[in-house]
Amino acid sequence: MTHYIHRNDLDEMVIEIIHLSTNSSNDMLNEIEFAQPILMQYLEYLADHSPVSDDPSVFSRSEYRYIYLISIVTLRLLIDSRHWPDEVSWDDINATIAASQPVANDIFANPTGLSDIVQGLAEDHPEPELLLFLSDACHKRLDDKPDEPPIRVKYRPTAFLIFYTILMSLLNNSSIKEPEVN
């Protein structure tokens, strides 16, 4: 299976985003908001709501900021990729969550096996390196704060499912854009 996003693209995008000036950061977020307003609303919703419980404070502010950063990396790469995702709706997100229930069940049944579960998913995934990057992001910091823990261990499955929901919502609403031939 051909995939279009490689690990070096991901690492470069993380570095690019964390080093953006305030103005450039605002411009990029505005572009993402224009291309995917519902996914940006979903991220804002997650700041005060847990996707898996009634506890609104599952993630600390630091964890939420990190989840937001990794989500922005994912959005930016897919929006700029050959996948050319259409705008995702709330119905798309809800359909993705419903379709992903078996994955969620596996992860919550064996939370310490998250990496192995994701490795299995990656074997048939259209963007395996991006999927593995999202799993790695739950276990170690991939930004400019490598000494801080990314996500507390008990919340890593939830964080991964947020990333997975965003990724699959985008991929389920995309069509491969063929390169222009001169």
Closest CA to 165 of 48, 61, 45: 45
The CA-to-CA distance between both ends of the chain, in Å, stands at 26
pLDDT beyond 50 at 181? no
pLDDT at 166: 92
User: Do residues 62 and 139 touch, judged by C-beta distance below 8 A?
Assistant: no
Report pTM.
Answer: 0.85
Enter the DSSP assignment of 112. Answer: G
pLDDT at 164: 94
Enter the DSSP assignment of 149. Answer: -
Average pLDDT over residues 34-62: 80
Average pLDDT over residues 88-98: 93
**Measured between alpha carbons, how far is 104 from 117 in angstroms, rounded to an integer?**
10
pLDDT beyond 60 at 130? yes
pLDDT beyond 70 at 173? yes
Closest CA to 101 of 38, 46, 174, 164: 164
pLDDT at 143: 65
More confident residue, 52 or 128: 128
Q: What sign has the CA pseudo-torsion 12, 156, 130, 173?
A: negative
Query: Which alpha helices (H) appear in 21-60, and where do they start and end?
Result: 22-35, 37-46
104-117 tens-digit pLDDT: 999 999 988 998 99
pLDDT at 99: 92
More confident residue, 182 or 121: 121
**Across the chain, what does the average pLDDT equal?**
83
Average pLDDT over residues 141-151: 69
